[in-house]
Amino acid sequence: MTAPNHIVGGIVFTGLFCSIFSLNIFENPLYISITIFGSLIPDIDHTKSIIGKLFYPLAKWLSVKYGHRTITHSIFFLFGLVLISFFIDKIFFENYNITIIIFFSVFSHLLLDMMTLQGIPLFYPIYKNPCVLPANRALRIRTGDIKQEGVILFIFSLMTIFMQDLFIDGFWSTLNKSFGTITHVNKEFKTTNNFMKIDYNYFEFGENKKGTAILLSSTQNELTLFGNNKIFKIDKNNSNQKNIELDFTITNTVYKYVPLEIINNTVEKTNEVCKNKIVKGFIKSNKKFSINETNKFKNELILENVYSPVFKNIVSDTLKTKLKRELKLKELKLKTIQEKNYNSVSLLNKYKSKLLIAEKMKNKTDDLYLKNKFEIEVIKYKNKIENYKIETETSSEIKAEIQFTKELIAENEFNIYNGNLKILVIPENF
């Protein structure tokens, strides 16, 4: 078979079987180059072939020593190349893609040559008789026959064009797509680390629901999707969901979660950092709380892909406002009592001070008139002091009430949140 058919046939054959390993030979120029090289390398024993001209000294030596379609067209030559490529992959690459491509591209050459009249000695040098496919000679290809070679080249070329989706998506993805069921989407989800876009179309309660969403998680019977700023499920066991049609596309964006550590956050701050985000992970609080307006209050929760979760403390806003108002009134009352007590004590001290001055002045002067005057003041202030009643209120009781109210607020209002959450990084183009 001629070189053009080996190249195009090798691309079709290698692309088809590599798709089983989810390997697209067109995704990397190196892969397609190796495919072409592998589909031609067995003809290195022919000096007039393309590969023989490139490696002429080696081709001439092989041609003289073994002849055409002998050692280089054997299964041992195939395994030798695979072994070499295996060590190259192991040393220089993180996968074995080159080895897979080498195997199928070289094997494609051997297979196509087996379909010619001459065939090839597949087990050379152990068994030198040619192997052919098919057994009927009339159905085999005559090498160099322009008509036959042209028809085959045309068929291979068409196959290369129409099999592009298979090469890109891979064999199993193409198979799963053809079924379009929840089970097959789940199979695909388990084999990829990339985001999957789901085109869905189904009826629920008689309403047609159709659109595109990101697949967050899946099981054999259920898909969890994110679209239109909400998370929803498609469940084949849900009798209300009927005529479910699914198609999927595997994007080039890897699923990625960014860690979000919650340390001593208030409910307001926790809600703010989780707003408009898909969150999963563990979170707890010193007091019971609920999420997304449910009446189930717990001290800790495990979240699994929740969009924009809203945490709520167990105490209602009405009670919080009432407690704060009571605290403010009690603090105002304490301030009033303290001011009143201060004024009352200050007035008594003023009387005592004036009494001391009057007594001092009375003892200091010899003038009888002044003595009588100061004596009168002494008597006056003594009477005031003796008859003065300090109208002070005790503040200890109100202080105790204030402390109790503060503790009540702290106990019932100030939830402290801690946890290890993860935020899903949603692709920008979605």
Rounded distance between C-alpha atoms, residue 59 and residue 82, angstroms? 20
Q: Under DSSP, is residue 15 helix (H, G, I), strand (E, B) or coil?
A: helix
| C-alpha span between 408 and 406 (Å, rounded) | 5
Residues 78 and 159 in one domain: yes
Q: What is the largest CA-CA distance in the chain?
A: 161
For residues 81 and 41, is the Cβ–Cβ distance under 8 A?
Answer: yes
- Helices 368-387 and 317-364 pack at an angle, to 10 degrees, of 150
Rounded Cα distance, 217 and 323, in Å: 44
429, part of any domain: no
More confident residue, 430 or 227: 227
CA distance readout (Å), 275 to 271, 279, 281, 315: 6, 9, 15, 22
Whether residues 139 and 177 share a domain: the answer is: no
Domain-embedded: residue 305: yes
Q: What is the pLDDT of residues 402-418, one digit of tens each?
A: 887 777 666 655 688 99
List the beta strands (DSSP E) in 102-181: none
Asked if 221 and 235 touch (Cβ cutoff 8 Å), the reply is yes
Give the burial class of 102: count Cβ atoms within 10 A of its Cβ; 0-12 exposed, 13-18 middle, 19 or more buried.
buried
pLDDT for position 421: 94
Q: Would residue 430 count as lying in a domain?
A: no
* Cα 62 from Cα 55, distance rounded (Å): 11
The domain boundary, picked from 254, 283, 303, lies at: 254
295 and 374 part of one domain: no
Residue 352 main-chain phi, psi, to 5 deg? -65, -40
**Phi, psi (rounded to 5 degrees) for 311:** -90, 145
Does 380 share its domain with 402? Answer: yes
Q: Is residue 233 part of a domain?
A: yes
Asked whether the predicted pLDDT for residue 319 surpasses 70, the reply is no
In Å, what is the CA distance from 191 to each residue of 174, 194, 196, 264? Answer: 13, 9, 11, 39
Distance CA 157, CA 143 (A): 18
What's the CA gap between 353 and 86, in Å, rounded?
108
The yes-or-no verdict on residue 344 having pLDDT over 80 is no
- Residue 289, both tokens: 């709380």
Q: What is the mean pLDDT of residues 355-362?
A: 84
E strand residue ranges, 83-206: 194-204
Residues 96 and 7 in one domain: yes
Confidence grade of residue 169 (pLDDT, cut at 50, 70, 90): confident
Query: How far is it, in rounded angstroms, from Cα 163 to Cα 287?
Result: 60
For residues 371 and 401, membership in a common domain is answered with yes
Q: 39 and 142: one domain? A: yes
The reply to whether 242 and 262 lie within a common domain is no
Cα distance between residue 419 and residue 423, in whole Å: 13
Between CA 45 and CA 62 the distance in angstroms is: 5
User: Binning pLDDT at 50, 70 and 90, where does residue 315 land?
Assistant: low
The two structure tokens encoding residue 340: 């009143």
> Which of 226, 254, 282 is the last residue in one of the domains?
254
pLDDT in tens, 17-32: 999 988 999 989 999 9
| Total-model pTM | 0.61
How many independent structural domains does the chain possess?
4
Of the pLDDT bands very low, low, confident and very high (cuts 50, 70, 90), residue 390 is: low
Q: At which of 166, 191, 206 does a domain end? A: 166
CB contact at 8 A, 34 and 11: no
Is the pLDDT assigned to residue 270 strictly greater than 60? yes
Q: Per DSSP, what are the bridge partners of residue 311?
A: 291
395: tokens are: 């503040």
Q: What is the pLDDT of residues 79-93, one digit of tens each?
A: 999 999 999 999 888
**Cα dihedral 368/370/372/376 (nearest 10):** -170
Average pLDDT, the chain: 87
| pLDDT per position as a tens digit, 190-238 | 888 899 999 999 999 989 999 999 999 999 999 999 998 899 999 999 9
15 and 100 both lie in a single domain: yes
The predicted-structure confidence for 48-63, as pLDDT tens digits, reads as follows: 999 999 999 999 999 9
Residue-range definition of the domain harbouring residue 291: 257-315+416-424
Q: Does 69 reside within a domain? A: yes
Distance from C-alpha of 359 to C-alpha of 366, rounded to nearest angstrom: 13
Same domain, 9 and 149: yes
The H-or-E segment that residue 325 falls in is: helix 317-364
Average pLDDT rounded to a whole number, residues 150-159 = 92
Q: Give the residue-averaged pLDDT of 337-351.
A: 77
129 and 191: one domain?
A: no
Q: Could you give the CA distance from residue 308 to residue 275 in angstroms, rounded to a whole number?
A: 5
Bridge partners of 279, per DSSP, are 306, 423
Hey, what are 192's tokens?
Answer: 């990829």
What phi, psi does 59 have (nearest 5°)?
-65, -40
> Mean pLDDT highest for which of 268-272, 318-322, 367-371, 379-383?
268-272
Q: Which of 109-118, 142-151, 351-360 has the highest mean pLDDT?
A: 109-118
Look up residue 13 and give its two tokens. Answer: 């054959």
Whether 294 and 339 map to the same domain: the answer is: no
- Please state whether beta strands 311-313 and 417-424 pair in parallel, antiparallel, or not at all (unpaired): unpaired
| Whether residue 393 has pLDDT greater than 60 | no
**What is the percent of the chain with per-residue pLDDT over 90, rounded to a whole number?**
49
Q: Pairing mode, if any, of strands 417-424 and 278-291?
A: antiparallel
C-alpha of 365 from chain center: 98
